[in-house]
Amino acid sequence: MEKRQELYAGKAKSVYTTDDADLLVLHFRNDTSAFDGKIIEQLDRKGMVNNKFNAFIMEKLEAAGIPTHFEKLLSDEECLVKKMDMIPVECVVRNIAAGSLCRRLGVEEGIDLTPPTFEFFLKNDELGDPMINDYHIESFGWATAEQLSVMKKLTFQVNEILKALFLEGNMLLVDSKLEFGIYHGEVILGDEFSPDGCRLWDKDTREKLDKDRFRQGLGNVIESYEMVGKRLGLSF
Ligand code: ADP
Ligand code: UDP
């Protein structure tokens, strides 16, 4: 497999074509952004940590029967994935209230959500990733009703698999964001799963171990990501 030209540079990753039209290289950079890209910083080791963390999680999900784009790790900061047509929608599943849910609804952070709740956001930084619903997605043609229902079903399944996995490391999966795309007609999980796109708290102390450390200026961001990985048995 040969890496070719850059197709797209996002806020945290760069995407490259390869000599295989069905495959892309994802390069995880050290760039860390928050508030829809309004704040960007370089954090040492972040690309490597998130790349390895994501590979570990994607392999666990595949083993549990979730179709993902992940093929294999290529280097410390790169992995090979299936080239998808991305659905421009973020699927957020929440087990505990935090973040924008608290701001929007005025609820207290930390409240258990039973059953877990689900939200769609449009991937559009200029608009600040507005919340959208099923009807918007269908009316604007971002996905079909059938694709929507697969995205929801897979998101809840991923949530249950990962809730159990993080619990083994004495962590609570508070919420997470997933992105899906279409590969040869099938809806599969894409992008990344790392502490950048989810909230994880220590089960006993409720200490924040995810990107909220960066958003809230709590420090030790990458040290925390590495600790999360180590608690799952990962070494970097
Ligand atoms: P953003 O675009 O939100 O700034 P990133 O910096 O993470 O995000 O950039 C990665 C981009 O690659 C995202 O737009 C994501 O939707 C896209 N992407 C992720 N996985 C795939 C894939 N398998 N095929 C095509 N595009 C993908
Ligand atoms: N999230 C993300 N990318 C985004 C927006 C949110 O990965 O563009 C993740 C975020 O890290 C959290 C979950 O989705 O785990 C829910 O985020 P929320 O809606 O609470 O927004 P935030 O408080 O991050 O602005």
User: For residue 236, how far is its CA from the centre of ligand 1 (angstroms)?
Assistant: 23
Q: Where in the chain do CATH 3.30.470.20 domains reside? A: 87-220
Alpha carbon nearest to ligand 1 atom 15, residue: 191
Q: Where in the chain do CATH 3.30.200.20 domains reside? A: 3-82
Tokens of 159: 């949530």
Tokens of 91: 């699927």
DSSP reduced 3-state for 196: coil
pLDDT for 104-129, tens place per residue?
A: 999 999 999 999 999 999 999 999 99
> SS3 for 155-178, per residue?
HHHHHHHHHHHHHHCCEEEEEEEE
Out of 62, 124, 191, mutate this one to test ligand 1's pocket (max ligand atoms within 8 Å of CB): namely 191
* Prediction pTM value: 0.98
Tokens of 38: 């309004």
Q: Does residue 76 carry a pLDDT above 90?
A: yes
Closest ligand, as measured to the CA of 50 = 1
What CATH code would you report for 3-82? Answer: 3.30.200.20
- What percent of the chain clears pLDDT 70, i.e. is strictly above it? 100
CB 41 within 8 A of CB 32: yes
Alpha carbon nearest to ligand 1 atom 5, residue: 10
CB 199 within 8 A of CB 212: yes
User: For residue 102, how far is its CA from the centre of ligand 1 (angstroms)?
Assistant: 27
**Cα distance between residue 142 and residue 122, in whole Å:** 9
Q: Could you tell me the fold of the domain covering 87-220?
A: D-amino Acid Aminotransferase; Chain A, domain 1 (3.30.470)
